[in-house]
Amino acid sequence: MKRLTRIIFTLLCAVFAMTASAARQQEPQYLTHPVQAPFAMEPLKEYVFPDRRFVITRYGAKAGGEYNNTKAIAKAIKACNKAGGGMVVVPKGEWLTGPVHFMNNVNLHLEEGAVLVFSDNYQDYLPAVQTSWEGMECFNYSPLIYAFACENIAITGKGRLQPRIKGWTPWFKRPKAHMEASKQLYTWASTDVPVEQRQMAVGENNMRPHLIHFNRCRNVLLDGFSIKGAPFWTIHLFLCDGGIARNLNVYAHNHNNDGIDIEMTRNVLVENCKFDQGDDAIVIKSGRNRDAWRVNQPTENVVVRNCTVVKGHCFLGVGSEMSGGVRNIYMENCEATDSVFRMMYLKTNHRRGGFIHHVYMKNCKGTCAGRMFEIDTDVLYQWKGLVPTYETRITSIHDIYMEDCSIERTDAIYEVKGDARNPIRDIYLKNLKIGLVHKFLNKSSNAFNIKSDNVKYERTGF
C-alpha cells in the first residue's frame, strides 16, 4: 500500500511539473527597452513572438497581383492566433488583398521583395468597423490594415505596403456630400450620439480609410518595412498603450497623407524612420472636442529620435485634434532634409480645450521652413464656418522647449499666437542657429515668459 502511495505521489509530482513547465512556456515573453527622456517613462515592452511560421501560400494565397488574397491572409492570421501566436509570412512577390485584420500575438512579416498591394475598390472595405475620422470616433470603411483591442501585434520585414490609389482619387476633392457627412459626424460627436450609431460608410460620404489603424491595442511593433502611398493618414495609433516604430521608410504624397499620427496613445518610441509626406510628417494628436473629453485619454510619453523627414507640412506637429491633452513629448537628433512648412508647430482653437504641456525638441536641424517654431490657437481650417461652436474651452499651453536646433533658412524664427482667455506661458528657445530669415524675426501675442537664449541668425532678407 505504501509503495502504491509513493507511485501515485511520484506521478502527481511529474504531472504537476509538466503542467508548470507548460504554463511557463505559454507565459508571454518580452524584451524591455529603457528610453531616455526629460520626463519619467517606463521601459517599453517588445513581445517575443513564438517561433512558428504561417506562410500565406499554405492557406491558398497566390502571387502576381491579380488574385485577391484577403481570405487566404485571414486564414493564416486565424491559424497563427489559434496556435498561440507567431509569424504570418508574406513571401517575395506581389500579393493583392483587401483589408487585413489582426488578431492577438500575430506578426505580419513581409519578406524582402514582398509587396502587399491593396485593392482600391471601396466595397472591399465593408462591412464598416469602429475607427475614427479626424479625431472623432465612428464606424467607417475598414482601414487597409486594422486591429481593434489586440495585444502583441507587429508588422515587420523588408517588404512593402503599396495601396492602389486610383479608385480613391475622386474622393480627395471632398465634394458636397462628403462635407455634409463631415458636418453630421461633427454634430453627432458634439451631442454624445453613441459611436455605434455614427455610421459613415454609406452613400457618397467618401470618408477614406487609414492605411494602418491600430485601435485600443497594446504592445505594437512596426519594424523595417516601407510604405508607398495611402488613401488617408498613413500610420495611426489610436488609444494604444505601448508602441515601437523603427526602421520604416514611408512615402505618401496623396491628400491628407500624414506620416505617423499618435493619438490618445501612451508610451511610444519612433526611431530611425524616414518620412516623405504630402501632409504633416510626425504628428501628435489627442481627439477632437467633446468626443475626446468623453474618452479622456491624453497622448503622453512619446519619444521620437534619429528620424529623417524629407518633405512634410510639419516636421513635428501637435494638433489640431488635441482635446484629450498632450504631455511629455520628446524629439531629438532628427533632420528635415528638404522643406517643411513648420519645424515645430503646436495648433489648437477655442473649441478644443485640453492641454499641451512639456513638449521638447532637441538637437534637430532643417533646411527650409516657413516658421522654425510656431504656436497658433486659432487653427480651424474649413471647420471655421462649416459647423458651429457647441462649447468654448481654451487650451492650456506651457513648458515648451526647443534647444540646440538649427535651420538654413526660414521666413521667421518664431511666431506665438495665444488666446487672451488663457495665455501661453513658459516657452524656452535656447541655442538656436539660423542662416537666412526671410520675412521677420519673431512675433508674439497673449504669451508670457518666452525666454530666448543664444538665438543667432546670420542674415535677413527683409
Q: Tell me: the pLDDT tens digits for 184-204?
A: 999 999 999 999 999 999 999
CA–chain centroid gap for 273, Å, is: 13
Q: Of the candidates 380, 381, 343, 376, which has an alpha carbon nearest to the alpha carbon of residue 362?
A: 343
Q: Report yes or no: 456 and 433 within 8 Å, Cβ to Cβ.
A: yes
More confident residue, 456 or 25: 456
| Cα–Cα distance measured from residue 101 to residue 27, given in angstroms and rounded to the nearest whole number | 24
Mean pLDDT (the chain, rounded): 95
Confidence band of 262 (pLDDT split at 50, 70, 90): very high
Give the number of C-alpha atoms closer than 13 A to the C-alpha of residue 73, restricted to the C-beta side. Answer: 27
Q: pLDDT by residue (tens digit) across 267-301? A: 999 999 999 999 999 999 999 999 999 999 999 99
30: number of Cβ within 10 Å = 15
Mean pLDDT score, 94-114:
98
| Cα–Cα distance measured from residue 315 to residue 303, given in angstroms and rounded to the nearest whole number | 14
| Cα–Cα distance measured from residue 131 to residue 140, given in angstroms and rounded to the nearest whole number | 6
Cell triple for 332: 531629438
In order of 283, 312, 365, the CA distances from 340 in angstroms are 13, 5, 11
Enumerate the β-bridge partners of residue 275.
250, 309
149: number of Cβ within 10 Å = 12
What b-and-e string marks burial along 287-304, b requiring 16 or more CB atoms within 10 Å of the CB?
Answer: bbbbbbbeeebbbbbbbb
Confidence band of 19 (pLDDT split at 50, 70, 90): very low
Q: What is the pTM of this model?
A: 0.94
- Tell whether the model's pLDDT for residue 249 goes beyond 60: yes
Mean pLDDT score, 157-164:
98
Which residues fall within 8 angstroms of residue 176, CB to CB, at 6 or more apart?
none
* Measured torsion, CA atoms of residues 137, 138, 141, 143, in degrees rounded to the nearest 10: 20
- Tell whether the model's pLDDT for residue 424 goes beyond 80: yes
pLDDT of residue 383: 86
**% of the chain beyond a pLDDT of 90:** 92
**% of the chain beyond a pLDDT of 70:** 94
Q: What is the CA radius of gyration of the chain?
A: 24
pLDDT of residue 174: 87
pLDDT of residue 24: 40
- Tell whether the model's pLDDT for residue 1 goes beyond 60: no
Mean pLDDT score, 23-36:
82
- Tell whether the model's pLDDT for residue 233 goes beyond 80: yes
Q: Report yes or no: 237 and 243 within 8 Å, Cβ to Cβ.
A: yes
Mean pLDDT score, 175-180:
93
Q: Where are the alpha helices (DSSP H) in 123-175?
A: none
Residue 327: enclosing H or E segment and its boundaries? strand 326-332
pLDDT of residue 2: 54
| Cα–Cα distance measured from residue 31 to residue 414, given in angstroms and rounded to the nearest whole number | 41
| Cα–Cα distance measured from residue 351 to residue 288, given in angstroms and rounded to the nearest whole number | 9
DSSP E strands in 174-295: the ranges are 212-215, 218-223, 226-228, 235-238, 241-246, 249-252, 260-263, 266-271, 274-277, 282-285
- Tell whether the model's pLDDT for residue 16 goes beyond 70: no
Cell triple for 430: 535656447
Which sign does the torsion angle of CA 234, 143, 61, 164 carry? negative
* Measured torsion, CA atoms of residues 102, 105, 109, 115, in degrees rounded to the nearest 10: 0
| Cα–Cα distance measured from residue 331 to residue 119, given in angstroms and rounded to the nearest whole number | 35
Confidence band of 15 (pLDDT split at 50, 70, 90): very low
- Tell whether the model's pLDDT for residue 98 goes beyond 90: yes
Looking only at Cα atoms, what is the longest distance across the chain?
103
